[in-house]
């Protein structure tokens, strides 16, 4: 089984799209999408320097366009699974059939502009934590008043929040861990991005969606999403929610994926998969010269999946450490609505509400009342009704 991955912010490199413009139709495609994005994607992908393409408002539509224009050179119909990291989810959702490339590029442009604007409201940032005991790393992040914005697997967690908290983390790192400050504009995938989520939601409300034609993984919890409006809603909420790439990779294993293609600009996700999943074949597509190897991989591992109605489960996770208390009287088998409060995590700063990210049935509680929980720990399973 073949999976196709779309990279997220930080994977861009100056001039990485230059060789792709030699292919028929690529430049015209990028110029059309530039009109939708409000930025010159051809310039950004060919002539712009590292500082210019680090601008969140420009980087996000550039990365989505790059993944899509790369994918157009390959027989994607033979890929079974799609996943993207952060803004890469927009490209993955398009390739799975949720919405059009034009919608993806437009949403990426809005997302990038609004996240850049949110970053300007308060001085925040992000730092990568490499190594260390996973539980100790998460505890240290919380103690510094930060959020685990990305849990990427392979011993990598990205902490985000106020600069004072990042300084505290750097001064008191977890044992056997290394801290690397990231050159980003602010604390992505945290509550600091709430204004961006609100703005993106207003635009996303007008986007037409379809059910994914392929297996599509969500950064929220690694689950397979087979409902277009639900995926769009998840994409909006992901602006303030942690990226659980570790759970996406676990899903690749559970689904029996045997090969992976990472679309341009490739390397980051391929590296994480290589360090996490043993025995899997990987092709990183960075230039047209890589297309032959990618097509060969598709021939040997690709197959169009057969889709049958099935019950989809999503997992509600804790966003912080504390003790979990469910809503009184809310029992397994109860129907819940999208955004419904199902409990709270009691912290030293007060209760943090836990809400659903889609309507369905409360299939199973995964923790007991007043049980201690860690950030990202699954609390309940919500199942769709067939």
- Give CA–CA dist 383/386, Å, rounded: 9
| Residue 162 φ/ψ, nearest 5 degrees | -65, 150
* 132 alpha-carbon distance from chain centroid: 23
E strand or H helix that includes residue 127: strand 124-131
* Strand-pair partners of 360: 336
Is the separation of the CB atoms in 125 and 181 below 8 Å? Answer: yes
| Residue among 11, 34, 85, 86 flagged as catalytic | 86
| Residue among 85, 189, 301, 357 flagged as catalytic | 189
Told to judge if 86 belongs to the known catalytic residues of this protein, a careful annotator would answer yes
| Residue 30 φ/ψ, nearest 5 degrees | -65, -35
| Residue 237 φ/ψ, nearest 5 degrees | -65, -25
Three-state DSSP at 213 gives: coil
- Give CA–CA dist 153/142, Å, rounded: 18
- Give CA–CA dist 174/171, Å, rounded: 10
Three-state DSSP at 248 gives: helix
Neighbours of 234 (CB within 10 A): 23
How wide is the angle at C-alpha 87 spanned by C-alphas 148 and 385, nearest 5°?
85
Is the separation of the CB atoms in 142 and 320 below 8 Å? Answer: yes
Told to judge if 164 belongs to the known catalytic residues of this protein, a careful annotator would answer no
The tokens describing 108, both together, are 């990426």
The tokens describing 61, both together, are 């539509």
- Give CA–CA dist 258/244, Å, rounded: 21
Give me the active site residues, please: 86, 189
């Amino acid at each position: 089984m073949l999976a196709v991955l779309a990279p997220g912010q930080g994977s861009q490199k100056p001039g990485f799209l230059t060789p792709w413009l030699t292919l028929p139709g690529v430049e015209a495609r990028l110029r059309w999408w530039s009109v939708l994005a409000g930025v010159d994607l051809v310039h950004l992908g060919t002539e712009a320097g590292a500082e210019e393409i680090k601008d969140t408002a420009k980087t996000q539509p550039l990365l989505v366009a790059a993944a899509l224009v790369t994918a157009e050179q390959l027989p994607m119909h033979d890929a079974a699974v799609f996943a993207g990291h952060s803004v890469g989810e927009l490209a993955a959702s398009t390739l799975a059939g949720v919405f059009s490339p034009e919608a993806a590029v437009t949403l990426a442009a809005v997302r990038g502009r609004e996240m850049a604007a949110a970053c300007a409201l308060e001085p925040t940032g992000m730092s990568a934590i490499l190594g260390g005991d996973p539980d100790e790393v998460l505890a240290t992040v919380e103690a510094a008043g930060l959020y685990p914005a990305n849990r990427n697997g392979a011993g990598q967690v990205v902490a985000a929040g106020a600069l004072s908290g990042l300084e505290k983390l750097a001064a008191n790192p977890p044992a056997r861990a290394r801290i690397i400050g990231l050159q980003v504009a602010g604390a992505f995938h945290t509550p600091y991005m709430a204004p961006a989520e609100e703005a993106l939601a207003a635009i996303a409300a007008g986007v037409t969606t379809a059910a994914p034609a392929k297996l599509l993984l969500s950064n929220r919890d690694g689950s397979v999403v087979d409902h277009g409006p639900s995926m769009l809603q998840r994409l909006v909420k992901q602006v303030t929610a942690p990226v659980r790439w570790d759970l996406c990779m676990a899903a690749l294993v559970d689904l029996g994926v045997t090969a992976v293609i990472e679309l341009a600009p490739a390397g980051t996700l391929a590296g994480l998969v290589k360090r996490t999943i043993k025995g899997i074949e990987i092709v990183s597509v960075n230039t047209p010269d890589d297309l032959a190897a990618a097509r060969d991989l598709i021939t040997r591992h690709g197959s169009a999946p057969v889709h049958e109605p099935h019950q989809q489960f999503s997992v509600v996770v804790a966003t912080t450490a504390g003790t979990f208390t469910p809503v009184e009287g809310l029992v397994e088998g109860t129907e819940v609505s999208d955004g419904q409060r199902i409990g709270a995590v009691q912290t030293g700063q007060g209760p943090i509400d836990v809400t659903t990210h889609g309507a369905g049935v409360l299939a199973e509680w995964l923790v007991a009342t007043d049980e201690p929980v860690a950030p990202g720990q699954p609390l309940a399973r919500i199942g769709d009704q067939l």
